[in-house]
A and B are shown apart, each in its own frame.
Chain A
Amino acid sequence: MSEPLLALDGVHTHIDQYHILQGVSFQVPAGGVTMLLGRNGAGKTTTLRTIMGLWHASSGAVRFDGRDITALSTPDIARLGIAYVPESMGIFSDLTVRENMVLAATAGTMDNSRLDWIFELFPPLKTFWDMPAGNLSGGQKQMLSIARAIVEPRRLVLIDEPTKGLAPAIILSVRKALEALKETDTTILLVEQNFSLASRVGDTVAVMDDGRIIHTGEMAELAADRSLQERLMGLSLEAHQ
């Protein structure tokens, strides 16, 4: 396994009086896709938000490329090359698709060849380029949310349940995009409930429960071990299909 790009070490996060993350420790190797799996309420979204600085860890450390980013502000973390695709997608409905992309291109103007690559991944974005993003369907909004995260080369992309509530055809499109992104230098930390998709795109995995990491390893090993799946998540891969 290569050197970790991201490492969480004993991270605790409190939201008001609730103790959500209770000593989360795992590593995300550089390159490839690390899956973050677990039941609803296990703390996956909180983990991503803590990495992004949207909620600050009350103790423990988040290291990115060896640097402690635990206390950094969200904009500073984003400017290190970390992009975030929230579960809610975070689309600016009042802005057009183009304007959403312009804002995401923080370094300046958008690179045309990269934009063409994005249009190949998500053709509807080209079609609705000058339409308000609020008019897009749920799947198209998800495409825009991911496209926005990769409009510039990023070192790490955090994606929270990108296929939730989407039609199978759109899930296929998202999967293709993730596979295409894997071919680049970008590292992905992906929260996903769809175990079938997770087993197809994931290289490594961390499984959470009750605010703790209960398993880490290779995704292929977990995908092949039904009893481990049932023990960790209560359901096997077959049950998801």
Chain B
Amino acid sequence: MSDAAIRPKIERASLAESLKTRAPLALVPALALVGFLAIGSFPTWVTLTVAGLAMGMMIFIMASGLTLVFGLMDVINFGHGAFVTVGAFVGFTVLAWLAGWTSDPSILINLTAVFLAILASMAVTGLLGYAFERTIVMPVYGSHLKQILVTMGGLIIAQQLIIVIWGPDAIHLSRPEALQGSFIFGTALVEKYRLLAVVVGLILFLAMSYVLNRTKIGLLVRAGVENGEMVEALGYRIGRLFLGVFMTGSALAGLGGVMWGLYQETITAHMGSEIMVLVFIVVIIGGLGSVGGCFIGAMLVGLLSNYAAFLMPKFALVSTIVLMVAVLMWRPQGLYPVVKAK
């Protein structure tokens, strides 16, 4: 038999297949366009769009860790919200200590205070993630029902501990001086803090994309999401990878908690469990385990929530659920499902 007989050949994807693969990428601009046509006023649309993107970015920050944890470790972590709450409270504590910095008119000093608050929150929630994975999650690998039960239990314990430490009342978390107020672009008002949230979210997304696509650790995570057993057979200790991803996911939830707390300007012991509904919707829309899908899902949820709240306030209450149902009817596994080895 000649070598010509085994000449490599790959079939070119048909136009329909290409469109099917790339269609989710068009959803965010399509929704923004529909929003523009429905709202009719350019300045209002700009304000709502930036608000939607900011909200989406913050949800993405919280959801990205959860989707990676699910994809890689097959762990449904209902306790993820605890890290959001702890992050917000640690951030509040640091900002309270740095009250002089947050009231300073210098934006540089304000941003340094926020940066330190974020750093402290990520460190605390990362370490908390370590303890959570070792004591609560590790014994229930492979059993979804037990995972749901023990992580819910972990969430409740964390909430009660927060009440013990910081008290049961809602706490006002004011934004630093330079992050209050809005920029005016023409006749459009854009809140300064929302712009910061968009920038932080974009930086995180680009950093995650770089790590996942350009580094060996990222390759291992992507490979582990698909086939953890084969990663072990290549000589890598997937347990350490699990722990690292869980700690990173927890730290990102802590970052999201600080950002969300500053966005809402009020923090409570239950804020994490409340936001988790949106976080789970985003993870499901994106496709379990997919960071790219999670990013698109978060943008869609953020934009739709803001457009709906302006156009049809009653519909806004169910808009994200309707979005999830619509996406799942179109793609039952989510926008970019991760193919896992059986």
- On chain A, which size bracket covers the interface? 35 or more
Report A36 CB to chain B, min CB distance, Å: 18
Report A177 CB to chain B, min CB distance, Å: 12
Q: How far is the CA of A131 from the CA of B8 in the complex (A)?
A: 12
Report A167 CB to chain B, min CB distance, Å: 8
B residues 1-51 with Cβ under 8 Å of A?
Answer: 1, 3, 5-6, 8-10
Q: With A75-B237, A102-B219 known to touch, is A90 a contact of B230 (CB < 8 Å)?
A: yes
A86 at the interface (CB under 8 A from B): yes
Our pick among B219, B232, B339 for the contact of A74 (Cβ within 8 Å) is: B232
Contact B341 A88 (CB under 8 A): yes
Q: With A94-B226, A172-B1 known to touch, is A103 a contact of B339 (CB < 8 Å)?
A: no
Contact B222 A92 (CB under 8 A): yes
Contact B222 A95 (CB under 8 A): yes
User: For residue B6, which residue of chain A has the nearest CB?
Assistant: A169
A residues 69-108 with Cβ under 8 Å of B?
Answer: 73-75, 78-79, 83-84, 86, 88, 90, 92-95, 99, 102-104, 106
User: For residue B237, which residue of chain A has the nearest CB?
Assistant: A75
Contact B219 A123 (CB under 8 A): no
Q: Mark A184-205, 1 if CB is under 8 A from B, else 0.
A: 0000000000000000000000
User: For residue A151, which residue of chain B has the nearest CB?
Assistant: B234
B residues 205-219 with Cβ under 8 Å of A?
Answer: 216, 219
Contact A95 B219 (CB under 8 A): yes
Contact B233 A86 (CB under 8 A): yes
- Residues of A in contact with B (beta carbons under 8 Å apart): 52, 54, 73-75, 78-79, 83-84, 86, 88, 90, 92-95, 99, 102-104, 106, 123-124, 127-128, 131, 134-137, 139-140, 148, 168-170, 172-173
Q: List 16 A-B contacts (CB under 8 A).
A: A54-B232, A73-B232, A73-B237, A74-B229, A75-B232, A75-B236, A75-B238, A78-B232, A86-B230, A88-B342, A92-B222, A92-B227, A136-B10, A140-B8, A172-B1, A173-B6
